Amino acid sequence: MDDSAQDLEEKVGELLSQRGWTLAVAESCTGGLVGHRITNVSGSSAYFEGGVISYSNEVKEHVLGVPLETLIDHGAVSKETVLAMARGVRRLLGTDVAVSITGIAGPTGGTPEKPVGLVYIGLAAEDAESAEKHIWAGDRESNKAQTAEAALKLLFSYLSA
């Protein structure tokens, strides 16, 4: 991991600590990579409550509370689903802020409407909700790494505002 990447999770941790806030994550295609990066920072137990790796639609629905209608109408890889995932993990773990990720890391699983590399990143807090859409052009590992980095950037941007 390069220094700038480490600096990002340290900065996120500092901002969470300054606010006295806690964080939860709900990850699908990144498989826990954001949680891994957060917990690479010593002292992260002061602000990181945990996460849910919700790879299947069943976990998205039954653990995170993503409505079945959302999954049917919009699909697992959608703005609507990623926002429901963020709300759900925030509620489940009782945190101040939550970040969520869903997408198609590749190399298989894409369609013309939802290509490989398509990801949505969501954020939910008491005063804000947001979602970002990205389409990465890398391989599976690169797509996962870029998504985790973008999720930390979204979180940092929200906490810095």
pLDDT, position 6: 54
Q: What is the pLDDT of residue 1?
A: 45
The CATH number given to whatever domain includes residue 87 is 3.90.950.20
Mean pLDDT of 136-151: 97
Quote the number of domains for the chain. Answer: 1
Q: What is the pLDDT of residue 52?
A: 98
- Per-residue pLDDT band for 17 (boundaries 50, 70, 90) equals very high
Buried-state track 6-34, b at ≥16 Cβ within 10 A, e below 16: eebbbbbbebbeeeeebbbbbbbbbebbb
Q: Could you give the C-alpha distances from 147 to 27, 28, 102, 141, in angstroms and in order?
A: 10, 11, 9, 10
β-partners of residue 118 are: 135
Tell me the per-residue pLDDT of 72-115, one tens digit each, with 9 for 90 and over: 999 999 999 999 999 999 999 999 999 999 999 999 999 999 99
Domain that holds residue 84: 3-12+21-160
Residue 4 pLDDT greater than 60, yes or no: no
- The tokens describing 119, both together, are 């990801």
Q: Is the pLDDT of residue 3 over 60?
A: no
In this predicted structure, the answer to whether residue 2 has a pLDDT above a threshold of 50 is: no
> How far apart are alpha carbons 130 and 35 in whole angstroms?
19
